[in-house]
Amino acid sequence: MVRREGMALILSLFVVVRSSAVSLCLSQLRSASLRWMETIAGTFRSICSRSTSSRAPSGADPYQRYLLDQAHARKVVYARMMDWYFLAAVNLALIAVVYQISIGRPRWIDIRGSWVLLAYQLPILCMLHCPQFGKSMSLDFHYLFILLLLLFLTSPLGSSADHTLSYSFMGFVAVSIPATVVPTRLCSVVLGQAALMVMCTYRAYSEHLGVGLCEDVSGSQRAERTLVSWNLYFLVAASFIFLMADALIKHQVASKIRESDKQVQLSATTSLLELTCDAVVRLDVAMRLEDHSPKLAAMLLRTGTSLKGVAFTDLLGDESHHGPEVQLNPDTTAATARAFQTQMVDCCSNKFKVEIFSVKYSLTDGQKCHIVGLRDLEDQESLAMRRVDGADHEWMVGGTATASVFVEGCASLDRRSTTSLGSDSLGLLGQWRLRPPVPCNDKSKENFLEIDVDTQVVIAATAPYHSLAGRQLPNIFGPDSLSLLWRVLDEERQVAQSMANSPANRELQLPNRLVTFSHMPFFLPERLEISGSIKVAVTSHGDFHVIMCFVESVESGFQTSLFHLKALHKELLSPGPVPIPWTSKMRKVYWRGSLTAPNEVSKHQASSIPRLRIFQLAKEKPELFDVAVNSVDNHLKVMWGKKTVQRIVSQHGVNFSNFEAVEQRARHYRYVLNLNGVVSSWRLSYLLGTGSVLLLQKSSTNEALHALLEPWRHYVPLAPDLSNLLDVLQQLESNETWAQTLAQAAADLFAERLRPEDIYCFALRSMEVSQSTELTLAALEARNFQAAPSLESLDAAWRGRLPKRLSQRLAAMHDALLRRPSSHTEL
């Protein structure tokens, strides 16, 4: 009895202990389950959060935040691509189901799975067609939503036990790997793959899996272990792919940011250079221009040609070929920006000084290129060589001896300066010294006279006319020139006195006006012609003096309206080559010449200049014109400014060409054009012999040859502004017989009246009347062009100015000319 009671007590104690242990285990399990659920819920809330602060740490710098934002934006694009991809995959799966039903084959998915696939398209369509719906979810939730379909396919509702391993493998390859690019956190990838592994593990140990694909080669492992191990591998592989894809996206975004920053820096550099320079170009590795630059073409007067691919060194002076290349490609790689000066050559072979700012940059492949800014220093001062302390020196002294030598070399490039500044060996102290003066014999250099018009005396004069100081004005200038000086002085004096008498001004003020002149007679004692400007100055005693700046005109001396003699000396009046038949001539208007204009025409009236107006007409009818400029007059550059000339040339579309022998080239065209420059063009003597129709512009200045020409017989007259040129061409083209008659009449006149002996006669008579101080009409009528005198009676100065060959031919022809009838020697 006692024994039974003891056993019952022990059994009761065992039940109590077991119950207590079970209750304790259940309570601990419940607590752990609650903690796990809270952790999972917190992770899910973190995944669903789309705040920007969750993507970038709060303490990250702006660059890192921008980098993460750009990476997130790129993943958003990938997510949209994945939506299209899965939409297409789901539709293909449904099509396969419908096809199997139609042919009576068993379906690869049951009816529930088909309805799930059909319902799965609805949220995908919403995300594609309603972007706001897609933006309301984070990328991590987007990824989990994609894996939800794969989770359904591997569940008992979506597939049978025999197809679990197949669906798991195909889902990883076709779904998990592409979708791994979308999430932003590793925990999302781990959570999604862990859910798939749990589902496969549950089916592996709760259902009987078939052998087939689930059995390994050795047959020693069960199908359940194979399925679980494969999903474990999938989890590790998906995590690794996510890390690699995330790093690759950030690297691509960082590279794009660096490339964008580089382009912004280049754009800023180019904008800064364009602000300070006249032209900006980009040079490739071979120092060739990458693109055509209209501004640089205007600087070089090459508006009609493209500069793309042209070597930069080909645009420089011959002596500058090596210096700029060394400056642009220095031995050291530390200097990426440099400034130096050199010379460039325009299409007319004129050299001008420019300042070059070069910025070197590297391409993606490491090749070195340059952005080059160019400033024309003809009308403005240098920027890089200016002293920073504000001193009135032209060049800045560098910190080393090499920089001093370089600046000194740049100073010597100025064509218009006879002396230049250089730095001494002290360099940084800024000590300056003058170089020895360089003698100048160029007649194009400016000369200055200070004239006291009241006393009719030259007060001061510069070399080579310093001997004129103290001489009387009537011994130097003619009556007309003296009248001009008096008139200028009186007008300036009256304006100055009226300004001084006004209540607002109590002091004597001089108006800032400049009077220009050209072809003024100048006697030393030989007769010259000078062109320049006049300005009135006031001395310390209140006297008014005239300051005259002048250069010797290129038409001075023997070239007094004797351009026919010039044509004779060049043998342009000799019998030319075999005439070109009319039918072989091109149906175009031909003209070549220099760009020039009268002094009274301002830059605002440039469009009225005939030699610019012709290019406007050529734009309207390019098939009718072959016109080009072969040079620009230097006086026009001085009068208007080189930059203004470049701008006007660019606006009017002026074409430039190399020098051509007009008398030979014009023969190939049906129509030759004669346009005035400053005065007449002085080319009628050989344009008449081209056998082409002469289109002659009406002008107030004519050659002596005009008296022999009859309009509409020897030439076609054109309006001064060329307004009737197109109409005239239309009439000539519609009546070729009449046009050919005009051309033949001009050629006959050339053969009959422009013989060499006729021009010799005209030259001798012109030299006779040119000995008078003032060449007036009365002097010509008084001499009446009688028999030409002997060469021995002419002034020795005239004989000295004649070319030796021409003097000999004049002497040989003299006696024969005197024996010829007077009717044959008229001109």
Query: pLDDT (tens digit, 9 = 90+) per residue, 45-67?
Result: 554 444 444 444 544 567 777 77
Mean pLDDT computed over 487-495: 85
Distance CA 671, CA 718 (A): 13
DSSP code, position 656: B
Cis peptide before 521 (omega within 30 of 0): no
Round to whole Å and give the CA distance between 498 and 491.
11
- Cα–Cα distance list, 190 to 147, 237, 606 (Å): 12, 10, 79
Q: Is 417 left (phi over 0), alpha (psi -120 to 50) or beta?
A: beta
Q: Which of 300, 387, 295, 372 is nearest to 339 (CA)?
A: 372
What are the beta bridge partners of residue 744?
none
User: Percentage of the chain surpassing pLDDT 90?
Assistant: 6
Q: Please tell me the total number of residues recorded for the chain in this structure.
A: 827
Give the global pTM: 0.40
With bands split at pLDDT 50, 70 and 90, how would you rate the model's confidence at 246?
confident
What is the C-alpha separation between 205 and 184, in angstroms, rounded? 33
Q: Determine the pLDDT at residue 586.
A: 92
Rounded CA separation 627/630 (Å): 10
Residue 567: per-residue pLDDT = 53
- What is the Cα–Cα distance from 167 to 586, expressed in whole angstroms? 83
Q: What is the dihedral of CA 425, 426, 428, 432, to 10 degrees?
A: -80
Contact status, residue 405 vs residue 323, Cβ threshold 8 Å: no
Question: Is there a contact between 648 and 612 (Cβ–Cβ < 8 Å)?
Answer: yes
Rounded CA separation 822/814 (Å):
14
Which pLDDT band, with edges at 50, 70 and 90, does 69 fall under?
A: confident
Segment among 197-206, 341-350, 388-397, 546-555 with least mean pLDDT: 388-397
Asked whether the CA dihedral 618, 623, 626, 632 is positive or negative, the reply is: positive
Assign 409 a pLDDT band (cuts: 50, 70, 90).
very low
Q: Residues 680, 682, 684, 685: what is their CA dihedral angle, to the nearest 10 degrees?
A: 150
Question: What value does the mean pLDDT of the chain take?
Answer: 70
Neighbouring C-alpha atoms within 13 Å toward the C-beta of 168: 33
3-state secondary structure of 42: helix
- 670 pLDDT exceeds 90? yes
**Chain-centroid distance, C-alpha 676:** 34
Q: Kindly report the backbone phi and psi dihedral angles of residue 598, in degrees, each rounded to the nearest multiple of 5, phi listed first.
A: -65, 155
Contact 653, 303 (CB under 8 A): yes
Whether the pLDDT of residue 532 is over 70: the answer is yes
Residue 712 pLDDT > 50, yes or no? yes
Determine the longest span between alpha carbons in the chain, in angstroms.
186
The single-letter code of the amino acid at 679 is V
Q: What are phi and psi of 144, to 5 degrees?
A: -65, -35
Instruction: Mark out the alpha helices in 502-551 (DSSP H runs).
Output: none
Tokens 């979810």 found at: 137
Tally of CA atoms within 13 A in the half-sphere of 121 that contains its CB? 13
Give yes or no for a contact between 672 and 688, defined as CB atoms under 8 angstroms apart. no
* Distance from the Cα of residue 798 to its chain's centroid: 52
User: What is the C-alpha separation between 43 and 192, in angstroms, rounded?
Assistant: 12
**Residue 139 pLDDT level (bands cut at 50, 70, 90):** confident
Q: Is 371 helix (H, G, I), strand (E, B) or coil?
A: strand
pLDDT above 90: residue 86:
no
- State the Cα angle at 368 between 365 and 373, rounded to 5°: 135
Q: Which 3 state secondary structure label does DSSP give 142?
A: helix
CA 449: distance to chain centroid?
44
More confident residue, 221 or 735: 735
User: Could you give all domains of the chain from N- to C-terminal order, each with its CATH number?
Assistant: 47-252 (no CATH), 277-389+396-415 (3.30.450.20), 447-552 (3.30.450.20), 558-573+755-827 (no CATH), 576-753 (3.40.50.2000)
- Place 71 in a pLDDT band, splitting at 50, 70 and 90: confident
Structure tokens at 64: 């890192």
Using an 8 Å Cβ cutoff, are 384 and 397 in contact?
Answer: no
At 39, list the tokens: 């952790």
Instruction: Indicate whether 813 pLDDT > 60.
Output: no
CB 635 within 8 A of CB 596: yes
pLDDT given at position 693: 93
How many Å apart are CA 271 and CA 193, to the nearest integer?
54
**Bridge partners for 279 per DSSP:** 374
Cα 352 from Cα 379, distance rounded (Å): 10
From residue 101, how far is each of 114, 162, 163 by CA, in Å? 12, 21, 19
b/e per residue 500-526 (b: at least 16 CB within 10 A): eeeeeeeeeebeeeebebbebbbeeee
109: pLDDT confidence band, cut at 50, 70 and 90?
low
pLDDT in tens, 586-619: 999 999 888 888 776 777 778 878 888 899 888 8
Determine the average pLDDT of the residues in 365-391. 69
DSSP tag of 119: H
Rounded-to-integer distance, Cα 446 and Cα 591, Å:
32
User: Locate tokens 């800023």: which residue?
Assistant: 268
- What interhelical angle do 186-206 and 223-276 show, nearest 10? 160
pLDDT of residue 269: 80
In tens, the pLDDT along 413-464 reads 333 333 333 333 333 333 333 344 444 445 557 889 999 988 899 999 988 8
Query: Tokens standing for 79?
Result: 């997510």
pLDDT in tens, 615-664: 988 888 889 999 998 888 877 888 888 888 888 888 888 888 877 777 77
- pLDDT of amino acid 8: 53
The secondary structure element, H or E, covering residue 635 is helix 634-640
Q: How far apart are CA 97 and CA 102, in angstroms?
A: 9
Q: pLDDT-based confidence at 210, cuts 50/70/90? A: low
